[in-house]
Amino acid sequence: MQMTLPQALEAAVRGQTLVKLVLSAPQADETGAAEQHPTRYTIRSVQLKDRLLLQWTARTGSQEIHENLTLKESLARVDAIFPLTYREANLLTTEADSQFRSRNGIMVKARQKSNQRVAPPIAHNRTKNYLIPEGQPCPFLEAIGVMTPDGRVKASMTHKFHQINRFLELVNDILPHLPAEGPIRVVDFGSGKSYLTFALHHLLVGVQQREVEILAIDQNAEVIDTCRGLCERLQLTGIEFAAQSISSVEQSESVHLAVALHACDGATDQALAQAVRWKSDVILAVPCCQHEVARSIESAPLELLLRHGILKERFAALATDALRAAALDTAGYKTQILEFIDLDHTPKNLLIRAVKRREGEASATTSTAYAELKAHLGLATLATDQIQPGGCL
């Protein structure tokens, strides 16, 4: 007798032969439109601490949401949505491929084909070793609403969880360029709700066991008060929050790491220029809302590109970041532009990482090259000019 899909899934999980189960082709409603369900579900085994769970990945368009369920919960869900909600199910194991199909919510076909393949690893983050693992309670992530008390990432906050971990990966990479002893002094420009400020503290203090002096500034006094309250609730030390502008920040001691994440338009350039004046060891910036070049750019050879508003906007943003990187190069930094996070999660996905060059290390860019690019784009005075040595507006 042919097994039902739940029976086949249970046998594969208990026999440790499951590769994945894919549910697809949502049923259409009476109007002929697909119901409001994910386009597909992909289910695989994951090992979370001492528990074997099934990870459900719901995909709709380019967005993915992950959820971990027990075998019992998974079998109940499969039974509820197949064949009533989804018309096709493909169960892949190390021994065979099984295909289940339905019509009008009734099973009509099931077939199996022998196939030999190796079982995939079931470590929860087999492709990403997150610095903050899912499944392990993290006080600050719970406090900001990303995690539940037992360490489960809330479905609606998956994108934020990925963003925080990606940021920590980038910070972890530059630790060798920060002082090996003593407190690490950090200034976070435009800190906003300070999700990444708290993440930075978690990495440096909680993971790396370092002493820190972090100053997080934002012009929104109400947001700053909220962050102070959260800091007190978490009993964190080494963080100060201040409601002030970038230009008003004064530091009597050297700043080792300057961070500017999503500071709008010219505020990014102010932050970069301030960090250069402080001769910060490392600068990390995720630019946002680059409008200045878009308003001023004029170039006959680029007329076909610039006549289209959306292309002009995107090109201007890239040109702005290229000028920022070049300005940082001429100011004594080795500069890279890296992907911050997938475009699925946020359109602001580029990060400028600048590390102070060692004495005698040559610059990749000259002031002449910077000026030539501006000239080719028909640009005069820009906010990026203040980043260069001696530059000011």
Query: What pLDDT is recorded for position 391?
Result: 54
- Among 26-40, 259-273, 288-302, the minimum mean pLDDT is found in 26-40
Specify the pairing of strand 212-218 against strand 96-103.
Answer: unpaired
| Unique residue bearing structure tokens 């006549």 | 307
Cis peptide before 26 (omega within 30 of 0): no
Provide, for the chain, the percentages of residues in helix, strand and coil under a 3-state DSSP scheme, each rounded to the nearest 5.
Answer: 35, 30, 35
Least confident of 36-45, 95-104, 124-133: 124-133
Task: Report pLDDT for 75.
Answer: 95
Which one of 100-114, 202-216, 257-271, 286-300 scores highest in mean pLDDT?
Answer: 202-216
45-59, 72-86, 116-130, 367-381: least confidently modelled range: 116-130
**Mean of pLDDT over the chain:** 86
Res. 392: pLDDT tops 60: no
For residues 121-137, give the mean pLDDT. 68
Which residue carries 């699925």 as its tokens? 344
Q: What is the DSSP letter of 119?
A: P
In percent, the amount of the chain with pLDDT more than 70 equals 88
In angstroms, the CA 80 to CA 312 distance is: 49
In this prediction, residue 116 carries a pLDDT of 61
pLDDT of residue 115: 64
Distance between CA atoms of residues 325 and 328, nearest Å: 5
pLDDT at 393: 46
SS3 65: strand
Higher pLDDT, 289 or 275: 275
Q: Which pLDDT score is estimated for 344?
A: 41
For the chain, which domains are there? Answer: 5-114 (no CATH), 139-387 (3.40.50.150)
